[in-house]
Amino acid sequence: MVDQQIFNKLLQDYKQRVDLALENWLPLETLNPVKLHQAMRYSVLGSGKRVRPVLVYATASTLGIPLNQVDGIAAAIEIIHAYSLIHDDLPAMDDDDLRRGRPTCHKQFDEATAILAGDALQALAFYILTHDSEMTPDASRRLAMIEKLALFSGSRGMAGGQAIDLASVGKDINIAELETMHIHKTGALIRTCIQMAALTSNTVSDAQFEALDCYAKKIGLSFQVQDDILDVISDTHTLGKPQGSDAGLDKPTFPAIIGLQAAREKALELHQQALDAIQCFGAEADILRLISHWFVQRSH
Amino acid sequence: MVDQQIFNKLLQDYKQRVDLALENWLPLETLNPVKLHQAMRYSVLGSGKRVRPVLVYATASTLGIPLNQVDGIAAAIEIIHAYSLIHDDLPAMDDDDLRRGRPTCHKQFDEATAILAGDALQALAFYILTHDSEMTPDASRRLAMIEKLALFSGSRGMAGGQAIDLASVGKDINIAELETMHIHKTGALIRTCIQMAALTSNTVSDAQFEALDCYAKKIGLSFQVQDDILDVISDTHTLGKPQGSDAGLDKPTFPAIIGLQAAREKALELHQQALDAIQCFGAEADILRLISHWFVQRSH
């Protein structure tokens, strides 16, 4: 059993690992066009929970895959996440000034640079998956990974989720519609983390793949429920973004629709379902179990 | 020798071919999120010169590659081009209201939808390259294509070119700096068309590949010189976008820096260099020769 102390150390190690990969993959600030590269680095490097890379590494660890084989996957997914945050923060979208405790990209630079930085980051993510020499040399598996990332980050995944999110502002939606939004907006990319890591191995059975995917669906949603809870109960300093920003934008949230207590219960229920999903794994999946626990207990 | 009438018919055929591929690849408007899918289809389908797909098909034709093997490439590149236009037209960028004779995406829908439509289109382009069953089954070649597209559309290609473009507004730049901007903004994607098509074949020699790439560089620039000339001499109706919009935005252009006559001579010189580059090919490359001619003679 991995204990809490070892878990915290692992999270730290994973974070350092992906930070190094990101540092290496992002174009230098001295390269032209300088401002664009500055904006790309500003938005990706520095703070950030690195939740998605952590999931990539934890899946690899569970499946016995050497971590250097998934560095590129972890970096690519984090870069996709970072681009989506840059664009979501734009005035025409959520109009946020603060992200991870710092000015958002368009505040630090300008809107045009923020749009282009997001665009270029998306392209960079796909570039990494074709170019990283440490990843599996099996080109078919790499293609399958790129397919997952493209599908789950596009109009039927993450970008589609943001469109549903924007369309739901100020509307009365029910819990099923809220879940559909989050399944796309956050859940799709979280599933991608686990599926892409699993695609690295050629010994994962269909049953194992399904188990991991089911786990990913549950924690993708529990992560979002906890996000909504934190938006109500936490403070701006701890969150690194304005507390109450969802409510301020009149965005539907789990606490708003089902109440704070029911939202807490829902998060715990999803956590339990995530644990159930990966019952077929032994102690090698403890890291995934602790991540699920972390998602519903975290304070930021 | 392909004569002008046959050439016009070929352009028409190529356009129809890619329009069908695009129609098939774009998500239906009835699929959720409906507005996002409407915006994606609105921006890609309909009019458009389809210059990039034409280059993909013409390269395939020159190299004896069956056209069905490059439909996916043609569609993917046109979709990348379309996403870049949507984002370039945004108020924070070029702030254009009219594109291809119709309201720009953010005018027809709204800014948030336009940003997301661009993002989702970029993802779709990469999805097509992994998913199209007609393209080469050689996964390594497909990976190489995706690498080209990601590199040439990112910060060191198309998106970088747009950043340089925005930074040059109102500045005194010289002809070399203007060329650098266009080499990135337009030239990179035009080179991608030809390189990706050539990657489909495993019988293209290094010398042939270099010849085609050199041709692509020349016509990529001549296309832009002619664009600048048309912005000065054509009218809004013919262009499908406001005449004089570059000058109105105080953007540097070839006619502004070297004069209209010298710009015309430069276009013709680049056309000649393009012809010289592909001297090693016989009549099978006539279509490429006629395209180069078209680029510098076109009126819109």
Residue B131 near chain A (CB below 8 Å): yes
pLDDT in tens, A40-66: 999 999 778 899 999 999 999 999 999
Positive/negative CA dihedral, B227, B228, B229, B230: positive
Q: Is B150 left (phi over 0), alpha (psi -120 to 50) or beta?
A: alpha
For residue B101, the distance in angstroms to the closest alpha carbon of chain A comes to: 24
d(CA B112, CA A300): 27
Chain A nearest-CA residue for B27: A155
Mean pLDDT, rounded, for B153-180: 93
The two three-digit tokens of residue B204, written as one number: 């293209």
Q: Give the fold, CATH level 3, of B4-297.
A: Farnesyl Diphosphate Synthase (1.10.600)
Q: What is the pLDDT of residues A195-208, one digit of tens each?
A: 999 999 999 999 99
Which of the four pLDDT bands, split at 50, 70 and 90, describes residue A239? low
| Cα of B231 to nearest chain A Cα, Å | 23
Q: Are B142 and A139 in contact (CB under 8 A)?
A: yes
* Residue from B80, B86, B87, B127 whose CB has the most chain A CBs within 10 Å, to mutate: B127
Chain A 198-257, residues with CB within 8 Å of chain B CB atoms: none
Tokens of A196: 């892409």
For the residues B217-239, what does the mean pLDDT come to?
Answer: 86
Distance (Å, whole) CA B248 – CA B68: 42
Residue in chain A closest to B91 (alpha carbons) equals A112
Contacts of B263 (CB under 8 A, 6+ apart): B225, B228, B229, B254, B255
Kindly state the percentage of chain B with pLDDT values over 70. 94
Q: Give residue B1's pLDDT.
A: 57
Which residue in the set A111, A123, A159 is minimally distant from B150, CB to CB?
A123
Model confidence, pTM:
0.95
Strands B102-103 and A98-99, sheet pairing: unpaired
Nearest CA in chain B to A165: B33
Q: Which of B28, B111, B116, B129 to mutate to test the interface with A (most CBs of A within 10 A)?
A: B116
pLDDT value of position A40: 98
> What are the residues whose beta carbons fall under 8 Å from the beta carbon of B155, sequence distance 6 or more?
A27, A33, A36, A37, A40, A116, A120, A123, A124, B163
Q: How far apart are CA A275 and CA A271, in angstroms?
A: 6
In this prediction, residue A235 has a pLDDT band, given cuts at 50, 70 and 90, of: low
| Cβ-based contacts under 8 A for chains A and B | 163
Chain A residues closer than 8 Å to B90 by CB: 112, 115
B177 contacts chain A (CB < 8 A): no
Q: Which residue of B has its CA nearest to A115?
A: B87
> pLDDT > 70: what percent of chain A?
94
B54 touches chain A (CB under 8 A): no
Phi first, then psi, for residue B99 (nearest 5°) are -150, 130
Crossing angle for the helix pair A188-200 and A51-62, to the nearest 10 degrees: 30
Q: Is the pLDDT of residue A1 over 60?
A: no
Q: Is the pLDDT of residue B191 over 80?
A: yes
Write the pLDDT tens digit of every residue in A97-154.
Answer: 998 889 999 999 999 999 999 999 999 999 999 999 999 999 999 999 999 999 999 9
- Residue-level pLDDT at B4: 83
Q: So what's the pLDDT on residue A140?
A: 96
The chain-wide mean pLDDT, for chain B, equals 93
Query: Could you read off the pLDDT of A276-293 as tens digits, one per residue?
Result: 999 999 999 999 999 999
Contacts of A73 (CB under 8 A, 6+ apart): A56, A129, A135, A145, A193, A196, A197, A200
DSSP output for A276-288: HHTTTS-GGGHHH
Domain ranges of chain B: 4-297
Quick one: which of A294, A273, A277, A282 has its CA closest to A194? A277
Please choose, from the candidates B24, B16, B14, B8, the residue with its C-alpha nearest in 3D space to the C-alpha of residue B54: B14
- Beta-carbon-side half-sphere exposure of residue A256 (alpha carbons within 13 Å): 20
Residues of chain A with Cβ-Cβ distance to B113 below 8 Å are: 163, 166
**Residue with tokens 């300008």, as numbered in its chain:** A110
**Is there a contact between B37 and B27 (Cβ–Cβ < 8 Å)?**
yes
Contact criterion met (CB < 8 Å) for B142 and A143: yes
Nearest-CA distance B14 → chain A (Å): 26
Instruction: Say which residues have a Cβ less than 8 Å from residue A299's Cβ, sequence separation at least 6.
Output: A230, A234, A238
Residue A57 dihedral angles phi and psi, to the nearest 5°: -65, -40
The neighbouring-strand residues paired with B98 are: B103
Over the stretch B20-58, which tens digit does the pLDDT of each residue have? Answer: 999 999 999 999 999 999 999 999 997 788 999 999 999
* Alpha carbon distance B99, B112 (integer Å): 18
Tokens of B36: 């996002």
Q: What is the mean pLDDT of residues B201-205?
A: 94
Nearest to B124 by CA among B81, B85, B68, B67: B81
Mean pLDDT of B244-255: 75
Task: Please name the helix (run of DSSP H) or strand (run of DSSP E) that holds residue B38, with its range, or none.
Answer: helix B34-44
| A6/A9 Cα distance (integer angstroms) | 5
Q: Chain B contacts of A166, Cβ < 8 Å?
A: 112-113, 116
> From the list B33, B150, B153, which residue is nearest A160 (CB)?
B33
- Rounded to an integer, the average pLDDT of A240-250 is 64
Shortest CB distance from A92 goes to which of B111, B124, B130?
B111
List of residues 6+ apart from B248 with CB closer than 8 A: B242
Chain B: closest CA distance from residue A151 (Å) = 6
For position A172, what pLDDT does the model report? 87
Of residues B54, B47, B48, the one with CA closest to residue B74 = B54
Report, as an integer, the average pLDDT of B71-100: 96
Amino acid at B92: A
Give Cβ neighbours of residue B171 (< 8 Å, ≥ 6 apart): B252
Q: What are phi and psi of B102, to 5 degrees?
A: -130, 165
The whole-number pLDDT of residue A46 equals: 78
The B residues from 3 to 42 touching A (CB cutoff 8 Å) are 27, 31-33, 35-37, 40
Most confident of A13-27, A227-241, B167-181: A13-27
- Asked if pLDDT for residue A26 goes beyond 90, the answer is yes
Label residue B239 by pLDDT band (50, 70, 90): low
Q: Is A231 in contact with A196 (CB distance < 8 Å)?
A: no
Inspect the interface and report whether the beta carbons of B113 and A163 lie closer than 8 Å: yes
Interchain contact A110–B (C-beta under 8 A) = yes
Taking 80 as the threshold, does the pLDDT of residue B190 lie above it?
A: yes
Mean pLDDT of chain A: 93
- Render pLDDT for A78-101 as a digit per residue (tens, 0 to 9): 999 999 999 999 999 999 999 888
Q: Do B154 and A120 touch (CB under 8 A)?
A: yes
Query: Please, what is the Cα angle at B124 between B121 and B126, to 5 degrees?
Result: 120
Please check the confidence at residue A178 and state whether its pLDDT lies above 90. Answer: yes
User: For the residues B224-245, what does the mean pLDDT come to?
Assistant: 76
Cis bond leading into A27, ω under 30°?
Answer: no
